[in-house]
């Protein structure tokens, strides 16, 4: 409960009625002297003037220079001491804050560095970066046309072009979301609303039990979505995949039958109806759609009812940039998510309020994530995006062929896209017979090599186990700043870091 | 289904074995020539060198200068023409892209302008802005300590300090989320998981019907959360408020009884158990906690089980900066949301993996939203944040008193915080008797005044109806760049824009 302020204590006094002409006298209200602005704009200018060269030099140019380190590893305990994290009563002077900026940059991982291969994003695009600086300076939120005209229109333009590239000839609709996982939640929510519009008002407790089908190799956000949206992870039916990770059609049929049987057994009325919404999670792979040569990898994507595609990954638009798109043309996103807040989405505005698209979203304030992508796209064109994708795929192919040529390296499988998964086998294990003991030993190699590369700061590549497969390296190629020599360096480096194991 | 690439067509040729010494010969792979990086770093540098002064001059200094316009209004149709939104096959040269940057800034609403009072955020803090430029340049994602050490530690430090300020003496846990609406979804999901941990695995269809209680004056994201999480908006019991918008305790009791009756009637087993998780939505009001003078407005907040608080609002940390915090100390966030992706959250890492906090989140990639707040807090201290809050409240009080003094202005109610809601009554209506016709006329005033101020670009303030109340202006005061003279200007301006109505 909020208490009412004691208005009797409010004291409004014109403290000096004899101020110089033109300047208004200050007023004392509730213990605070009010007159001009209290933010010293000269001081702010001088701070930004000093800070910007540090950012450009340390966080942009050095951070993307192949001759510099990818990271300057410190343990959590060391770094806590170095950063002096505590927030205190008093502030700090500019030189100290500038040093904090330098330290924050120094101990951060340089994700734009050519030798950062650790995640499904990498590299630095100068146009996207300028787009991001603009939006951070302007600080917009995308509820309504009134407060974000440029950013809503660029979002619409980007979505329409992406929808065209997916191949939905009748068009579609979409929204940028804070991450592929949230896009997947959108997809599930829109699908269930499409088939059971009552869910919005009545909730799942009033509906027959709903189930989801997904591939064994799906992203972990499918489980997160099932839990968050109240469906439950047990109601996700997982379809086994073949050795290359492709869903097996015959197994799909079996899972559908299993779900029908189980739902029938558990529901009172015995009804189980199967309806379909096909959801395509192309957050990472969507980039291939830009390439005439490689878009066959996503053959059939236009048959999906919804698509999640993150240009911050393969297309280097900068985190975050995540489009969720639906083939629907009946305002499904709006109907499914709207709550019609009267303080934002007034209907008596003087412009066409169909441009106030914020109520399509589950968010209220929302960042302008499409603008940086739009600006980059304008600068390098569809052709420029295509060339980057083609080059990254060729580079992955080159790396895979090098791996096959080298002793002690073994591909987990032939790459299809730009993820190249491989084992490094140190000399001590090369003569050991293939078997459980061999793989137990191999399993222990990648974590040690990773530790050594992090502590050296020479490069970063991820590793993981998968099913019954021992830990392997998962190399991701994205950025046009990656050179062929970097691929050779990567393999040399892994060998030199792990040859004694 | 993905098709296998036809590896037979892959062509790896060393095209020129006689390259100059030291430089490696290019390699042709799959039609692409691979050697050094293809991003021209000199060109990138020259672009950024040209773009940064435009951003600083137009999007920072002019955009926050009270003598400049708040917005340069264009209709959607006009702006589409001006921006030339289409994405084409070819790219554009730097001068053209620089012009696009200027245009994007020019036609954007200047949310940092002292006369932007339209939303629950405003102003420009130079430290936060530098923090945001750093994180955009570094482009991190907050899954693991390994890739975002600085940003995970600063997030933890900020959360711990906010938890201390809330008053949870035993501590707590938290995560930054992409918006207060998402924080509210977290709150609901964590609450139901806490009482019904089965929900994660079994889903709502296996549980008794769950209901939520909320105030009539709650944020619209409560309805969005109920829909998205599968609870259903009909299962939200809305508790009437008094005239000042405060929940009425006696009505709360009635709604609980109503819910018990309805659930009992509809469920098979007749069981309805009432368990409580108190969720506090302090996204906007949380700022008052920084002020010794005003924190009584949130008296009792420490009794809540979870709190959502957005420092991007009153505390000017920049969009987005939204903390969701729980009083729980048993790793509830992790247990509720985790999906244990083996490719990210490997347990055989060489450092303490409890710092890999990403699995607490419903997101996978996640922006470092706490860092900018941490840097600003370091720069101005708790005291600086407190002074801003105190000043904004005093400014709101000044405005309210001015409104009371002026003819034709009428407060909707006494402000408690920095939202000042008021009607403007043009001279033509001042002698009309209070009644339905009067209010019908008043209702039409704000949209016209708003249209005129937007087209003039002189300032921006929101308006809205509320319940049976006619459209009123909703003035929000946040930024230390707002002067007392701006308050006078605001009222003068509304009068001059609406006096003929």
Query: Distance, in angstroms, between A16 CA and closest chain B CA?
Result: 15
Nearest to A71 by CA among B147, B132, B350, B151: B147
pLDDT above 90 as % of chain B:
85
Q: Does B203 touch chain A (CB under 8 A)?
A: yes
Hunting for tokens 């029908």 — which residue is that? Answer: A260
Q: Where is average pLDDT lowest: A263-267, B298-302, B446-450?
A: A263-267
pLDDT attached to residue A112: 97
pLDDT attached to residue A165: 98
Q: Where is average pLDDT lowest: A310-314, B95-99, B147-151, B207-211?
A: B207-211
Q: Does A40 touch chain B (CB under 8 A)?
A: no
Query: Distance, in angstroms, between A277 CA and closest chain B CA?
Result: 16
Nearest to A203 among B85, B235, B474 (CB): B235
Q: Please state, in angstroms and rounded to a whole number, the distance separating the CA atoms of residues A178 and A388.
A: 24
Which residues in chain A have Cβ-Cβ distances shorter than 8 Å to B123?
Answer: 39
pLDDT attached to residue A267: 58
Which residues in chain B have Cβ-Cβ distances shorter than 8 Å to A378?
Answer: 87, 91-92, 97, 100
Strands (E), A39-117: 116-117
Residue A8, pLDDT above cutoff 50: no
pLDDT attached to residue B273: 63
Nearest CA in chain B to A487: B35
Contact A473, A415 (CB under 8 A): no
Q: Does B82 touch chain A (CB under 8 A)?
A: no
The full DSSP string for A276-299 is ---EEE-TTGGGGGG-TTTGGGGT
Write down the mean pLDDT value for chain B.
92
Contact B195, A375 (CB under 8 A): no
Residue B10, pLDDT above cutoff 70: no
Contact A202, B234 (CB under 8 A): yes
**Mean pLDDT on B209-224:** 92
Which residues in chain B have Cβ-Cβ distances shorter than 8 Å to A450?
Answer: 349-350
Which residues in chain B have Cβ-Cβ distances shorter than 8 Å to A126?
Answer: 44, 47-48
pLDDT classification of B21: cutoffs 50, 70, 90: very low
ipTM over 0.90: yes
Residue B13, pLDDT above cutoff 60: no
Q: Does A140 touch chain B (CB under 8 A)?
A: yes
Give just the sign of the alpha carbon dihedral A260, A264, A266, A268: positive
Q: Please state, in angstroms and rounded to a whole number, the distance separating the CA atoms of residues B366 and A313.
A: 13
Helix (H) or strand (E) holding A472: strand A469-476
Burial bucket for residue A354 (CB in 10 Å: 0-12, 13-18, 19+): exposed
Tens-place pLDDT, residues A256-311:
999 888 877 765 554 556 667 888 889 999 999 999 999 999 999 999 999 999 99
Hunting for tokens 């995560």 — which residue is that? Answer: B175
Q: Please state, in angstroms and rounded to a whole number, the distance separating the CA atoms of residues B237 and B178.
A: 26
Contact B152, B142 (CB under 8 A): yes
**Mean pLDDT on B207-214:** 91
Interface of A with B in 3-22 (CB under 8 A): 3-5, 7, 10, 12
Residue A443, pLDDT above cutoff 50: yes
Which strands sit side by side in the sheet containing B306-309, from one edge to the other?
B173-177, B322-326, B306-309, B279-281
Q: 3-state secondary structure string, B345-368?
A: CCCCCCCCHHHCHHHHCCCCCCCC
Tens-place pLDDT, residues A350-388:
999 999 999 999 999 999 999 999 999 999 999 999 999
pLDDT attached to residue A9: 46
pLDDT attached to residue A220: 92
Cα distance from N-terminal residue to C-terminal residue, chain B: 64
Contact A313, A121 (CB under 8 A): yes
DSSP, collapsed to helix, strand or coil, labels residue B126 as helix
pLDDT attached to residue A269: 52
DSSP strand pairing (A27-29 vs A32-34)? antiparallel
Q: Which two tokens stand for residue A131?
A: 């787009």
The pTM score is 0.95
Q: Which two tokens stand for residue A20?
A: 């110089």
Residue A17, pLDDT above cutoff 60: no
Contact A67, A483 (CB under 8 A): no
* Interface contact A397-B74, CB threshold 8 A: no
Query: Distance, in angstroms, between B314 CA and closest chain A CA?
Result: 14
Tens-place pLDDT, residues B249-293:
999 999 999 988 887 776 555 455 666 788 888 999 999 999 999
Q: A171: alpha, beta or left, given left = phi > 0 and alpha = psi -120 to 50?
A: left
Query: Distance, in angstroms, between B432 CA and closest chain A CA?
Result: 24
Query: Distance, in angstroms, between A273 CA and closest chain B CA?
Result: 16
Query: Distance, in angstroms, between A18 CA and closest chain B CA?
Result: 17
pLDDT classification of A7: cutoffs 50, 70, 90: very low
CA A107 from chain centre, in angstroms, equals: 22
pLDDT classification of A35: cutoffs 50, 70, 90: confident
Nearest to A227 by CA among B487, B185, B410: B185
Interface of B with A in 405-424 (CB under 8 A): 414, 416
Tens-place pLDDT, residues A97-129:
999 999 999 999 999 999 999 999 999 999 999
Nearest to B299 by CA among A489, A56, A5, A412: A5
Tens-place pLDDT, residues B221-248:
999 999 999 999 999 999 999 988 999 9
Q: Does B128 touch chain A (CB under 8 A)?
A: no
**Mean pLDDT on A77-94:** 98
Helix %, strand %, coil % of chain B (to 5): 45, 10, 40
* Interface contact B224-A31, CB threshold 8 A: no
pLDDT attached to residue A458: 95
Which strands sit side by side in the sheet containing B32-34, from one edge to the other?
B12-14, B27-29, B32-34
DSSP, collapsed to helix, strand or coil, labels residue A440 as helix
* Interface contact B460-A7, CB threshold 8 A: no
**Mean pLDDT on A167-185:** 97
* Interface contact A480-B45, CB threshold 8 A: no
Residue B125, pLDDT above cutoff 50: yes
Tens-place pLDDT, residues A305-343:
999 999 999 999 999 999 999 999 999 999 999 998 888
pLDDT attached to residue B27: 93
Residue A2, pLDDT above cutoff 50: no
What pairs with residue A34 in β-bridges?
A27
Nearest CA in chain A to B395: A34
Per-residue burial over A428-450, b if 16 or more Cβ lie within 10 Å, else e, is ebeeeeeeeebbebbbebbbbbb
Nearest to B371 by CA among B162, B172, B130: B130
């Amino acid at each position: 409960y909020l208490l009412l302020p004691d208005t009797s204590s409010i004291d409004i006094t014109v403290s000096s009625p004899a101020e110089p002409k033109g300047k208004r006298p200050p007023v004392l209200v509730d213990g605070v002297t009010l007159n001009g602005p209290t933010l010293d704009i000269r001081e702010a200018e001088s701070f930004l003037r000093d800070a910007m060269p540090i950012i450009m030099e340390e966080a942009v140019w050095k951070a993307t220079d192949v001759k510099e380190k990818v990271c300057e590893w410190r343990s959590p305990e060391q770094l806590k001491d170095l950063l002096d994290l505590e927030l205190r009563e008093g502030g700090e002077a500019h030189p100290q804050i500038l040093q904090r900026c330098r330290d924050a940059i120094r101990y951060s991982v340089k994700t734009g560095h050519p030798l950062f291969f650790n995640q499904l994003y990498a590299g630095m695009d100068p146009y996207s970066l300028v787009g991001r600086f603009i939006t951070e300076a302007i600080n917009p939120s995308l509820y309504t046309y009134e407060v974000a005209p440029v950013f809503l229109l660029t979002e619409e333009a980007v979505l329409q072009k992406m929808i065209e590239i997916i191949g939905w000839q009748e068009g579609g609709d979409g929204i940028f979301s804070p991450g592929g996982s949230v896009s997947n939640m959108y997809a599930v929510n829109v699908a269930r609303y499409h088939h059971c519009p009552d869910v919005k008002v009545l909730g799942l407790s009033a509906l027959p039990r709903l189930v989801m089908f997904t591939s064994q190799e799906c992203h972990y956000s499918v489980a997160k979505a099932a839990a968050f949206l109240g469906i439950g992870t047990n109601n996700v039916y997982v379809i086994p995949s073949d050795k290359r990770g492709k869903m097996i059609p015959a197994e799909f049929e079996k899972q559908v039958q299993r779900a029908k049987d189980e739902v029938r057994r558990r529901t009172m009325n015995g009804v189980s109806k199967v309806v379909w919404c096909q959801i395509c999670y192309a957050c990472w792979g969507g980039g291939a759609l830009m390439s005439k040569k490689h878009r066959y990898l996503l053959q059939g994507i236009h048959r999906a009812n919804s698509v999640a595609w993150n240009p911050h990954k393969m297309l280097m638009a900068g985190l975050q940039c995540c489009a969720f798109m639906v083939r629907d043309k009946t305002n499904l996103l709006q109907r499914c998510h709207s709550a019609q807040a009267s303080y934002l989405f007034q209907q008596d505005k003087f412009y066409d309020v169909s441009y106030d698209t914020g109520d399509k979203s589950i968010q209220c304030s929302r960042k302008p994530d499409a603008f940086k992508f739009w600006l980059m796209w304008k600068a390098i064109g569809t052709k420029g995006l295509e060339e980057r994708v083609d080059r990254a795929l060729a580079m992955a192919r080159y790396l895979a062929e090098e791996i096959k040529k080298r002793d002690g390296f073994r591909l987990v499988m032939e790459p299809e896209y730009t993820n190249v998964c491989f084992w490094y086998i140190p000399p001590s294990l090369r003569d050991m017979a293939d078997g459980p003991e061999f793989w137990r030993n191999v399993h222990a190699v990648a974590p040690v090599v990773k530790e050594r590369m992090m502590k050296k700061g020479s490069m970063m590549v991820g590793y993981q186990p998968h099913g019954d497969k021992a830990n392997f390296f998962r190399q991701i190629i994205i950025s046009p700043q990656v050179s062929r020599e970097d691929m050779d360096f990567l393999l040399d480096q892994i060998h030199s870091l792990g040859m004694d194991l």
